[in-house]
Amino acid sequence: MSEAAGRRRGRSGGGGAARRAERSAVRIECAKVIERRIPDVEMLTAEVLGIIEHNAEIVLEEIGVAFVENPGALERWRQAGADVRGERVHIPRGLARQLCATAPGSFIQHARNPERSVEIGGRNLVLAPVYGPPFVRDLSGGRRYATIEDFRNFVKLGHMTKWLHHSGGTVCEPTDVPVNKRHLDMLLAHMTLTDKPFMGSVTEPSRAQDSVDMCDILFGGLDGRTVMTSLVNINSPLTFDATMMGALEVYAAANQACIISPFIVGGAMAPVSVVGTLTQVLAEVLAGVAYSQLIRPGAPVIFGAFVTSIDMNSGAPTFGTPEAAQITYGAGQLARRLGLPYRSAGSFNGSKLPDAQAAYESANSLNAGLMSGVNFMLHACGWLEGGLVASFEKYVMDADQLGVLHKLAAGVSGDEEAQAMDAIREVGPGGHYLGCAHTQRHFKDAFWRSDLLDYKPFETWDEEGARDTATLASARVRRLLEQYQPPEMDAGLREALDAFVARRKEEMPDAFV
């Protein structure tokens, strides 16, 4: 790290002309975070939550969890007081919860632009885009394997999106770049094409280390600051594999945040009941968070729950379902009782197209996410086809709906101006409010307004081509990408990042699996 930091600090600087050019760049509007001034929904009773917590401890002690191909982890658990048999770790009742106590209730993830830094936890909700799809889809090109060019375009869209606080991670898989080098190009894109916070690589411990090293350059030394939040999936049920745990070990040691996230398709990786699934989720998160604290007490972590259910007829995962919402609400309650930031929900749907199914299912999940107290929402926009596809149109469609969440979360003011008694007096029975003084004072900011959806009269809409939402979205994607301008970056810093990527690529032969 210190070598990388030295390179950053030792740069010669980009010169005055470059800095002036950068300063003239378009200023992008960006909401800070969602601050939820509305109550949490307590969907499950305290009694049921108590049962879940009790049963999760039984699971940890009697069934245990598997830490696969990871002798170091087994040794750490043994020293912490667990009963380790083979790769199975039996955690005595109360131990995991006790270890979790050192994890912070909220933390700041720094962005290279301090205005874009986010606090994750508490009453905040931070929104990040879709993560992981190997395919992309747009109206003109259809469905196809994602490339690094697609990846960069998604990062650019994220930078332009007012309601997105976070640039995310693998917004799509750049399948045209060797598997073992993708993370370098992806990180470089997040670091240079936006100044919002981002996620690191988790597909190998060495790639997590590359992520940390590049951040060390970007931030001029980390000095203990958390600058990445990365996604560590648990291989449900109850299995922690060496790849993900290896990444967690790197990140926790460097005080970088991880989302400890059971990856559950209910009926396949967890029981078909809500309470059974929540029991397993809680057991897995307790074990994962406890392990992060064994690596470094105080390491920032997030209670994750990626949960969907299965269609029992076809075996396909389904999204936006009532069971998923119940689990989202319940996991939020468990996270609050544990005092941890919570990650769940997103623009989830199983549709192949950005159509009504996609929107119903996404809206169900987005609304449940807000109301259940989610603190970090990955996949908040762009998800399609059960996560196989990142859709350009759906990205801007969902992103627009994220504005609804912002306004709803702001709560309802009861101050004198909001009471509007002057308006009601002025207008009186049978009048109308369009011209009254109160309306004039507030007409610009009174109501949330879509940047995308159609509000036109039928005749106008018809004359303009009778466009559906996906067609409007396609035009918006094109417009945003045309208008895109990169945020300022010191030329020397850019050179240092490029040099790091070039050197690391040279050190490895290409790998495509």
Residues 394-413, interacting with its own copies (CB under 8 A): 394, 397, 401, 404-408, 411-413
Residue 232, strand partner residues: 260
**What's the full length of the chain, in residues?**
513
Cα–Cα distance for residue pair 319/129, rounded to 1 Å? 17
User: Please, are residues 209 and 183 in contact by the beta-carbon 8 Å criterion?
Assistant: no
267 binds its own copies (CB under 8 A): yes
Whole-number minimum distance, CB 401 to its own copies, in Å?
A: 6
Q: Does 430 bind its own copies (CB under 8 A)?
A: yes
CB-based contacts of 219: which residues, under 8 Å, 6+ apart? Answer: 8, 110, 112, 225, 227
Tell which positions 464-483 bind its own copies, by CB under 8 A.
466, 468-470
Stretch that binds its own copies, among 157-165, 184-192, 441-449, 496-504 (CB under 8 A): 441-449
CB of 189 or CB of 282, closer to its own copies: 282
- The answer to the question of residue 39 lying near its own copies (CB under 8 A) is yes
- Determine, following the binding rule CB under 8 A, whether residue 25 of this chain makes contact with its own copies: no
User: Between vectors from CA 232 to CA 2 and to CA 354, what angle results, nearest 5°?
Assistant: 120
Instruction: Single out the segment in contact with its own copies by CB under 8 A; choices: 28-36, 95-103, 161-169, 260-268.
Output: 260-268
Task: Return d(Cα 201, Cα 208) in angstroms, integer.
Answer: 5
> Binder to its own copies among 129, 169, 220, 320 (CB under 8 A)?
320
Rounded to a whole number of angstroms, the minimum distance from the CB of residue 305 to its own copies is: 15
> Closest approach of Cβ 453 to its own copies, in Å?
5
Q: Which of residues 221-240 bind its own copies (CB under 8 A)?
A: 235, 237-239
Which member of 66, 171, 217, 218 binds its own copies (CB under 8 A)?
A: 66
- By CB under 8 A, is residue 51 in contact with its own copies? yes
Q: Is 271 in the site for its own copies (CB under 8 A)?
A: yes
The site for its own copies, by CB under 8 A, has a size of 126
The nearer residue to its own copies, 222 or 238, going by C-beta atoms, is 238
Binding flag, residue 102, its own copies (CB under 8 A): no
Cβ distance to its own copies smaller for residue 3 or 415? 415
By CB under 8 A, what part of segment 447-466 binds its own copies? 447-450, 453-458, 461-462, 466
- Stretches 153-161, 190-198, 268-276, 479-487: which one binds its own copies (CB under 8 A)? 268-276
By CB under 8 A, name the one of 124, 194, 280, 372 that touches its own copies. 280
Cα 121 to Cα 33, 332, 340, 409: the distances in Å are 11, 12, 7, 15
**CA 99 to chain CA centroid, nearest Å:** 25
The answer to whether residues 304 and 340 touch, using CB atoms and an 8 Å cutoff, is no
Site for its own copies (CB under 8 A): which residue of 350, 369, 373, 387? 350
306-310/376-377 β-pairing: unpaired
Q: CB of residue 250 vs its own copies: minimum separation in angstroms?
A: 24
Q: How far apart are CA 365 and CA 360, in angstroms?
A: 9
Based on the shown chain and the rule CB under 8 A, indicate whether residue 46 belongs to the binding site for its own copies: no
CA separation, residue 53 to residues 134, 277, 281, 284, 338 (Å) = 37, 12, 10, 12, 10
**Candidates 64-72, 100-108, 179-187, 372-380; binding stretch for its own copies (CB under 8 A):** 64-72
200 in contact with its own copies (CB under 8 A): no
Helices then strands, counting H and E runs in the chain, come out as 19, 19
Residue identified by tokens 């859709």 is: 391
Closest CA to 228 of 249, 205, 244, 252: 252
Contact 318, 310 (CB under 8 A): yes
Q: Amino acid identity of 370?
A: L
Closest approach, Cβ 328 to its own copies, in A, equals: 11
Side-chain-facing half-sphere of 104: CA atoms under 13 Å = 18
Does 446 interact with its own copies (rule: CB under 8 A)?
A: yes
Among 75, 144, 419, 483, binds its own copies (CB under 8 A): 419
Least distance from its own copies to the Cβ atom of residue 394, Å: 8
- Exactly one of 270, 307, 377, 493 binds its own copies (CB under 8 A); which one? 270
User: Which is nearest to 310 in space by CA: 299, 296, 324, 300?
Assistant: 324
Contacts to its own copies from residues 142-181, by CB under 8 A: 143
Distance between CA atoms of residues 271 and 286, nearest Å: 18
- Smallest gap from Cβ 100 to its own copies, in A, equals 20
Q: Could you tell me which residues come within 8 angstroms of residue 462 by beta carbon, excluding any fewer than 6 positions away?
A: none
Least spacing, CB of residue 233 vs its own copies, in Å: 14
Told to check if 431 binds its own copies by CB under 8 A, we report yes
Q: At residue 127, what is the residue type?
A: L
- Comparison of 256 and 277: residue with beta carbon closer to its own copies: 277
Min separation Cβ 175 and its own copies, Å: 16
| HEC string for 392-449 | HHHHHHHHHHHHHHHHHHCCCCCCHHHHCHHHHHHHCCCCCCCCCHHHHHHCCCCCCC
Could you tell me the two tokens for 283? 């057991």
3-state DSSP: the chain helix, strand, coil percent, rounded to 5?
Answer: 45, 15, 40
Closest C-alpha among 275, 333, 358 to residue 55: 275
Which of residues 226, 309, 372, 474 is near its own copies by CB under 8 A? 309
